Homo-oligomer: A and B are copies of this chain.
Amino acid sequence: MEPVSQNKDEEITEATDPDHLGKMIREARLQKGWTLEEAGKAAGIGRSTLSKIENNQTRPSFDIVRRLTKALELKTPQLFVQSGPSDISGRRDVTFAGQGEPQDTATYSHELLCTELTSKRMFPYISTIKARDVSEFEAWIRHRGEEFMYVISGELTLFTEHYRPLALKAGDSVYYDSGMGHGCVSTSKENAKVLWVSLE
């Protein structure tokens, strides 16, 4: 009942299953109850081409795959699956309260959560936002991707480009494009505590 051992030596060699792509696409099409004709039309490709792709009798171009992902609403990362040993398949990682991995900067004090799982796609962490004056707000933080925040305790102001500053208190949550400039300032006397989950 112990975690699956993570073999560090094992290379992320070639694609796990050469038939993966076709299988995924066929599964998605049947899920929608579409025929080759219908799915092909939706994606703008011929039914013969689609047949060959689903049966892995061809190595489709990226364009074709992209059109299919759109038409079939496929989850793109699944198509790139990079094999078993190094991903999180069948694994879990716990971090008990206050046991996260500390990472401090001038204005933020982060506690990284679940850092054992290195190949996960979301990055959860808890930040203690030091109480300071709103006027102290400095530069925008920007990083490609999406971010979700949940206020655990305290009160703070979230600044984002294109929007008015937003006053938040415990229990409030925000989801935003993290490529858009953003930053927080605690407006309570004590420090504010926020849970973030970052993607990408």
Is the beta-carbon distance between B96 and A172 smaller than 8 angstroms? yes
Which single residue of chain B is at the shortest CB-CB distance from A145? Answer: B75
- Bound Cα distance from A69 to B62, whole angstroms: 12
Contacts of A77 in B (CB 8 A): 76-77, 200
Interface set, chain A 59-83, CB cutoff 8 A to B: 59-66, 69-70, 75-80, 82
A102-110, A114-122, A184-192: which lies at the B interface? A114-122
Interface set, chain A 160-190, CB cutoff 8 A to B: 160-164, 166, 168-177, 179-180
Which single residue of chain B is at the shortest CB-CB distance from A197? Answer: B197
Is the beta-carbon distance between B70 and A177 smaller than 8 angstroms? no
Is the beta-carbon distance between B124 and A175 smaller than 8 angstroms? yes
Is the beta-carbon distance between B97 and A124 smaller than 8 angstroms? no
Is the beta-carbon distance between B124 and A148 smaller than 8 angstroms? yes
| Distance in Å: Cβ of A121 to nearest Cβ of chain B | 6
Q: Is A199 an interface residue (CB 8 A)?
A: yes
- Bound Cα distance from A162 to B173, whole angstroms: 33
C-beta contact mask, A149-165 vs B, less than 8 Å → 1, else 0?
A: 01010000000111110
| Distance in Å: Cβ of A115 to nearest Cβ of chain B | 9
Q: Is A139 an interface residue (CB 8 A)?
A: no
CB-contact partner of A177 in B92, B179, B200, under 8 A: B92
Contacts of A124 in B (CB 8 A): 148, 150, 173, 175, 197
User: Could you list which residues of chain A lie within 8 angstroms of chain B, going by C-beta atoms?
Assistant: 1, 3-4, 12, 15, 21, 59-66, 69-70, 75-80, 82, 88-98, 113-114, 117, 120-122, 124, 144-146, 148, 150, 152, 160-164, 166, 168-177, 179-180, 195, 197, 199-200
* 10 closest residue pairs by CB, A with B: A97-B171, A92-B176, A114-B175, A62-B65, A197-B197, A88-B177, A76-B80, A93-B175, A113-B173, A62-B62
User: Known contacts A88-B146, A89-B177, A98-B171; can you find 10 more A-B pairs with CB under 8 A?
Assistant: A91-B176, A92-B176, A95-B173, A95-B174, A96-B172, A97-B170, A114-B173, A120-B175, A150-B195, A199-B199
